[in-house]
Amino acid sequence: MQHIRAHVLICAGTGCKSAGSKEVELAFQKEIKAAGLADEVMVVETGCHGFCEYGPLVIVYPEGTFYSRVTVEDVAEIVESHLLKGRLVERLLYHEPMTQEMIPNYSDINFYKKQHRLVLAHCGSINPEQIEEYIAVGGYEGLGKALTLMTPDEVVAEVKKSGLRGRGGGGFPTGMKWGFAKQSVNDKKYVICNADEGDPGAFMDRSVLEGDPHKILEGMAICGYAIGADEGYIYVRAEYPLAIKRLRVAIEQAEAMGLLGENIFNSGFNFQIHIKEGAGAFVCGEETALMASIEGKRGMPRPRPPFPAVSGLWGKPTNINNVETFANVPLILVNGADWYCQFGTEKSKGTKVFALTGKINNTGLAEVPMGITMREIIYDIGGGINNGKKFKAVQIGGPSGGCLPEELLDLPIDYDSLTAVGAMMGSGGLVVMDEDTCMVDVAKFFLNFTQSESCGKCTPCREGTKRMLEILTRITEGQGREGDIELLENMAKNIKETALCGLGQTAPNPVLSTLKYFRNEYEAHIKEKRCPAGVCEKMAIYTITDKCKGCGLCAKTCPVKAISGNLKQQHVIDQAICIKCGACMSVCPFKAITKG
């Protein structure tokens, strides 16, 4: 007779899927059947666990054993050893990168231990394509409570009390925003979920949409009830096909159960959710451009006022929030604002999901309470800098944000502390940089992004970011001029004051921030024509050290005959002729050529 005693949870988030988790899942099903365990062991597909560095991830319950980097070839062994005999497959367990300590249990891994997973609670532990699992963990009770036990005013008050602030980057108090939309008098209102997630490297929203889509639906419905809207849109970037699929399945299942649609919980409240796919424009993450896009127009922002709460989608009062913001709402309703207020700092309540990327050992998603320090995130959760390199800076807030240098690592992370130091929370993308990163190059990278994503409407952004980019490019190519830094600062200041929307207003931030903390790097580029980190190709200085044995191979290889020297004697590179192609360095058998 069937009694399921073990669940094998296989991460089916986009990251693990591209690493082959689907094949691993099929292998498990095959092996389990072959071992006669099909009546005892269930294979479950889940959403993203967040520990993407180590995927494909497999977690076996009831033990909670965490297997990482599982390949198809490993599956038979796991079934044979763990599922049949109860013996863990040690080589596949997670090992702490700094100490190599082996940690079998999911809940003991530092990456997870230090997190406070409220938004990501179910990501990785339920099957997102089964509404029953969401209900089993308490799903839709927030909506039920709101509709049957609270008035719209009470719902708004609860959200206000919780101190929840917009997680998309703006940090605007969510309850207050809902209050504005509620106040507007109109026969039609809309709720919009901004799932455009355009920041390069950010995937927090994606994981929630893929791993726990119902949470968003529930949050939006609660919002609709609070403000008086009966229709909602989720604007998802088209580059997230899996998230779109999971959302569609979730909406269908919720409608079939009467949790969306007409007369939910017999309360007279109707709510319908549509999905609108983006079309590849970063600027459509800006709320007015997003609404223009839903309306079928070119995604260009418009001036505010009027604000969306007064006149938004098709001129109707609209409340727009980010995915993560909506994900917090059901928890607040179920557990109460007072419960929520225990997390975070005084002005920034709750948790924040960060995407840890860059030169860090544990790349992935981490949800931490506001007020945690950057040091804890990078070292305790992130496992420190990889390849034994030294930390240099962490970029926070993506193309709109700034960098934090080492001296700010103990800054408690919340909205206000970050803006006070010239950075911003942004959507939560963190890019960790080490000593081999050139900060001028980083500024150039982000400005290149914002310039190509600029919608072109307003002069300061369309033309201004282009000219700033040209200056930065010159600097990184050894063509920097005296006065360039002052010009960049002057332009940055004016562009921030005059650009029409957030994209243009924040585009200069990476430049200003890197100038603030790494001005010396800019000056080295301009005055000495040198890139201290050795990154800017056109300024690399190749030098032959005394390791040189005088074999002459480099001189023969050099395409412009810039190297001279006698046999068996140290050779020398003529910097005036050198075109910095690096061929000499790649052929030297004695590693005698350095680049710097």
Scan residues 239-258 and list those touching other proteins (CB under 8 A): 257-258
Stretch that binds other proteins, among 185-193, 365-373, 391-399, 490-498 (CB under 8 A): 490-498
Contacting residue, 31, 53, 74, 133, with other proteins by CB under 8 A: 133
In whole angstroms, the minimum distance from the beta carbon of 12 to other proteins comes to 16
- Helices within 413-568 (DSSP H only): 415-420, 439-453, 459, 465-476, 484-498, 502-506, 509-527, 553-557
In whole angstroms, the minimum distance from the beta carbon of 86 to other proteins comes to 3
Stretch that binds other proteins, among 6-14, 322-330, 431-439, 516-524 (CB under 8 A): 6-14
Q: Which is nearer to other proteins, 2 or 566 (CB)?
A: 2
DSSP state of 5: -
Contacting residue, 17, 117, 145, 444, with other proteins by CB under 8 A: 145
Angle between helices 213-227 and 323-335 (to 10 degrees): 80
3-state secondary structure of 241: helix
Count of residues near other proteins by CB under 8 A: 74
Half-sphere exposure of 388 (CA within 13 A, CB side): 1
Q: Which is nearer to other proteins, 136 or 579 (CB)?
A: 136
Q: Which is nearer to other proteins, 382 or 399 (CB)?
A: 399
- Contact set for other proteins, span 55-84 (CB under 8 A): 61-64, 84
Contacting residue, 27, 126, 234, 327, with other proteins by CB under 8 A: 126
Q: How, if at all, do strands 572-573 and 6-11 pair?
A: unpaired
Contacting residue, 33, 91, 248, 302, with other proteins by CB under 8 A: 302
In whole angstroms, the minimum distance from the beta carbon of 348 to other proteins comes to 20
- Contact set for other proteins, span 433-472 (CB under 8 A): 451-460, 462-467, 470
The CB density around residue 63, as the number of other CB atoms within 10 Å, is 14
Stretch that binds other proteins, among 110-118, 124-132, 198-206, 535-543 (CB under 8 A): 124-132
Cα–Cα distance measured from residue 16 to residue 13, given in angstroms and rounded to the nearest whole number: 6
- Contact set for other proteins, span 493-552 (CB under 8 A): 494-500, 505
- Contact set for other proteins, span 375-404 (CB under 8 A): none
In whole angstroms, the minimum distance from the beta carbon of 500 to other proteins comes to 6
- Contact set for other proteins, span 266-295 (CB under 8 A): 266, 281, 283
Q: Which is nearer to other proteins, 266 or 566 (CB)?
A: 266
DSSP state of 348: S
The residue type found at 180 is F
In whole angstroms, the minimum distance from the beta carbon of 306 to other proteins comes to 8
The torsion of the CA quartet 86, 87, 91, 97, rounded to 10 degrees, works out to 70
Q: How, if at all, do strands 364-369 and 351-358 pair?
A: antiparallel
Q: What is the largest CA-CA distance in the chain?
A: 93
Contacting residue, 34, 98, 102, 137, with other proteins by CB under 8 A: 137
In whole angstroms, the minimum distance from the beta carbon of 284 to other proteins comes to 11
Q: Which is nearer to other proteins, 36 or 388 (CB)?
A: 36
Contacting residue, 72, 135, 242, 572, with other proteins by CB under 8 A: 135
In whole angstroms, the minimum distance from the beta carbon of 569 to other proteins comes to 44
Could you report how far apart the first and last alpha carbons of the chain are, in Å? 70
- Contact set for other proteins, span 202-231 (CB under 8 A): none
Stretch that binds other proteins, among 142-150, 213-221, 347-355, 431-439 (CB under 8 A): 142-150
DSSP 111-165: HHHT---STTTTTTTS-TT-HHHHHHTTTTHHHHHHHHH--HHHHHHHHHHHT-B
Should residue 477 be labelled a site residue for other proteins when binding is judged by CB under 8 A?
no
Contacting residue, 18, 71, 99, 148, with other proteins by CB under 8 A: 148
Should residue 96 be labelled a site residue for other proteins when binding is judged by CB under 8 A?
no
Which residue, chain included where needed, has tokens 């959710």?
Answer: 273
Q: Which is nearer to other proteins, 150 or 341 (CB)?
A: 150
Q: Which is nearer to other proteins, 286 or 434 (CB)?
A: 286
Q: Which is nearer to other proteins, 138 or 552 (CB)?
A: 138
| Cross-sheet strand order for the sheet of 41-46 | 41-46, 6-11, 58-61, 65-67
The residue type found at 210 is E
Q: Which is nearer to other proteins, 8 or 585 (CB)?
A: 8
Q: Is 549 exposed, middle or buried (CB count within 10 Å of its CB: 0-12, 13-18, 19+)?
A: middle
Should residue 238 be labelled a site residue for other proteins when binding is judged by CB under 8 A?
no
Q: 405 phi and psi, to 5 degrees?
A: -85, 180
Contacting residue, 39, 90, 338, 528, with other proteins by CB under 8 A: 39
In whole angstroms, the minimum distance from the beta carbon of 350 to other proteins comes to 24
DSSP 160-199: HHHT-B-TTTT--BHHHHHHHHHHS--S--EEEEEE---S
Q: How, if at all, do strands 269-277 and 261-264 pair?
A: antiparallel
Q: Which is nearer to other proteins, 472 or 558 (CB)?
A: 472
Contacting residue, 303, 388, 559, 589, with other proteins by CB under 8 A: 303
Contact, 419 vs 426, CB < 8 A?
Answer: no
Stretch that binds other proteins, among 137-145, 345-353, 522-530, 581-589 (CB under 8 A): 137-145
Cα–Cα distance measured from residue 338 to residue 342, given in angstroms and rounded to the nearest whole number: 7
- Vertex 88 angle, CA 87 and 90, to 5°: 135
3-state secondary structure of 271: strand
In whole angstroms, the minimum distance from the beta carbon of 141 to other proteins comes to 6
